[in-house]
Amino acid sequence: MMRQFDKIALIGKYQSAEGAETVLELARFLRAREREVWIEQGTAGTIGKAEGFAVLTYEEIVGRADLAVVVGGDGTLLNAARRLGERAVPLVGVNLGRLGFLTDLPRAQACEKLGEILDGRYREESRFMLEAEVLRNGQRVFHTLALNDVVVNRGQLGRMIEFELLIDGEFVYTQRSDGMIVSTPTGSTAYALAANGPILHPEVGGIALVPLCPHSLTARPVTLPDRCVIEIGLLPPHDARIHFDGVTHFDVRAGDRLHLARSPLDVRLLHPAGYSYFAMLREKLHWSAAPRRN
């Protein structure tokens, strides 16, 4: 059965003139299609004049929107996904960035492709998130969600950190390194890929652990079932910083413990008709490209 998208929220890249122009273009297109159009509050502030379109906060969008169209790069979509994840508002991404693994509607064809989605010609998929909490002396001091990855690193320090890793309460190892990437399949083509981690197909129920410059040459990426609970304990005397989707961070102290598990909340992504995950990888990663000649 075709889903109805009557109430649509538009979210743009922060302080982007190009993004503001595209948001207004899409808003006019949707109004012509007799949809109720809302512009996210921060996006409206960048635009300046919202041309009579209603302006809503993220909190208001969560409870009311049938669809959210995100204009920007993958970082913009990641931020929106984390903030709208509570109600699993379907997301469509219009790419203004460089790679765009998640934002797959080309800007030049945004209205055309969005029209196809409104007409029911799209592919929907679900991406799981990680739920993260930091415990200090047994008490929660930080809690958030991540769609891409959670990265523990040395922060501003110039030396390696040391931590212990436990899976489902079982001790795995102590590691000295620059840190650790804990990645979902969605994030496996991001920082984890640059650190020689595996590419995980979105339908794989796995979580990748990718060490960052480990002191031991035998420390290798490991893929775990997504039912596992991951615990990273920072060992004295080191402090560190934890990044969540590259959007937010939290500074941890020696003795703090990071707990990670699959969140019960999923992100719903809508792709244009004919979308192919492998075609996207070929394009973004330049697979099959002819070698350059000198």
Mean pLDDT within 256-260: 98
Domain locations along the chain: 7-120, 130-264
The token pair at 57 is: 């906060």
Entry field: residues in the chain: 294
pLDDT of the residue at 228: 98
pLDDT of the residue at 52: 83
Contact 207, 146 (CB under 8 A): no
How do the residues of the chain divide into helix, strand and coil, expressed in percent and rounded to 5?
25, 40, 35
Q: Measure the CA–CA gap between 2 and 227, rounded to whole angstroms.
A: 32
**Helix locations, 89-131, DSSP H:** 110-118
Under the banding of pLDDT at 50, 70 and 90, the label for residue 1 is very low
Contact 174, 163 (CB under 8 A): yes
Q: What is the mean pLDDT of the chain?
A: 92
Please state whether the peptide bond connecting residue 237 to the residue before it is cis, i.e. omega within 30 degrees of 0: yes
β-sheet bridge partners, residue 72 = 95
Burial-class residue 140 by CB neighbours within 10 Å (0-12, 13-18, 19+): exposed
256 carries an active-site annotation? no
Mean pLDDT within 87-95: 92
| Angle at 64 (CA atoms; ends 3, 248), nearest 5 degrees | 105
Range with the poorest average pLDDT among 102-106, 253-257, 260-264, 267-271: 102-106
> Which CATH architecture is the domain 7-120 placed in?
3-Layer(aba) Sandwich (3.40)
Contact 97, 86 (CB under 8 A): no
What digits encode the pLDDT tens for the residues 34-64?
999 999 999 998 887 767 899 999 999 998 9
Contact 245, 146 (CB under 8 A): yes
pLDDT of the residue at 56: 94
pLDDT of the residue at 100: 83
**Residue of 66, 74, 104, 256 marked catalytic:** 74
> Which CATH architecture is the domain 130-264 placed in?
Sandwich (2.60)
Range with the poorest average pLDDT among 5-19, 191-205, 229-243: 5-19
